[in-house]
Amino acid sequence: MRIAILSPVWFAVPPSGYGGIEWVVSLLADGLADAGHDVTLFASGDSHSKARLSYIFELAPSEQIGKSLPELRHALGCFDRAGDFDVINDHSGPLSIALGDLVETPVLHTVHGPLDGDPGRVYEGLAQLAPGVGLISISLNQRRPKPELNWAGNCPNALDLQLYPCKPHRGDYLLFLGRMSADKGAHRAIWVAKETGLPLKLAGKKQDPKEHRYFHELVEPHLVEGIEYLGEVSHGEKVELLQNARATLFPIEWEEPFGLVMIESMACGTPVIATRHGAVPEVIEDGASGRRRSG
């Protein structure tokens, strides 16, 4: 089968650091290529894949993240060649959905973000413009705000287990991996560490002014002995942290559609302690692979 995979353009595939969608796209493209399909990956030129690479931007335009023009140029590079493919799997964001109704090639759009509030209304409007585009969820909970959309399937995120070797011997620290934002809950991880008396390592980026303000107000004042902020870490550093943690904390305060950190942690043999939001009940088996708590 001739398959086109359209990745977001903002980070290389696979990403050097942050970029959960790009990791999923990388695994999907390589897996389909290994299965014998003719796969073309539309991503930035600094990407690496077993699939054939096609790009508009030689380097990922990360500094322009959120701007419509680079995203549209990137998407058009794929849809202009729609006739070359049997199917297009779009991971690039809602903007490109409208393009899917302009081509004869079947289009499946994987939804990676939440669907409550404004994002849900955007998808609702675009679904009316392009009723032929099938939507793929990454968890069943993700569909809850908009069950009436044209859902074609559910495909939870996956991992290459070879990149996350299990280590039987644990360290004594708790681990938090995620953006420094209120909805990810780094401040709640600090509270757990203080209540249990266990060391805590926090790793993750702070990108926009809101995240910097959150960090300075609710995280930085609590960085005392035993509570350490490591900044953004590489994939190798992340795996080492996961392998040696006593448990990974996932204290989210929002309806996260999936949460790769949970399966990354479990792949390394480290249990997850998570709040019961979003896809957590679908991913964590309470008492087996971790603990779910209301909050």
Residue found under tokens 């950190």: 261
Predicted confidence at residue 85, as pLDDT, reads: 99
How far the first Cα of the chain sits from its last, in Å, is: 46
Q: Distance (Å, rounded) from C-alpha 116 to C-alpha 169?
A: 41
Q: Distance (Å, rounded) from C-alpha 189 to C-alpha 177?
A: 10
Looking at domain 2-154, does it have CATH number 3.40.50.2000? Answer: yes
The domain segmentation of the chain, as residue ranges, is: 2-154, 161-293
Of 107, 13, 19, 95, the residue nearest 54 (C-alpha): 13
Q: Going residue by residue through the chain (295 aa), what tens digit of pLDDT does each one get?
A: 999 999 999 999 998 776 789 999 999 999 999 999 999 999 999 999 999 999 999 988 888 887 889 999 999 999 999 999 999 999 998 889 989 989 999 999 999 999 999 999 999 999 888 999 999 999 999 999 999 999 999 999 999 999 999 988 788 999 999 999 999 999 999 999 999 999 999 999 998 899 999 999 999 999 999 999 999 998 899 999 999 999 999 999 999 999 999 999 999 999 999 999 999 999 998 876 555 556 5
Task: Judge if 2-154 and 161-293 fold alike in CATH terms.
Answer: yes
Predicted confidence at residue 127, as pLDDT, reads: 86
Predicted confidence at residue 16, as pLDDT, reads: 79
Residue found under tokens 């997850």: 272
In whole angstroms, what separates CA 47 from the centre of its chain?
17
Predicted confidence at residue 121, as pLDDT, reads: 94
- CA distances (Å), origin 126, targets 4, 28, 64, 260, 261: 21, 25, 23, 27, 30
Looking at domain 161-293, does it have CATH number 3.40.50.2000? Answer: yes
Predicted confidence at residue 290, as pLDDT, reads: 52
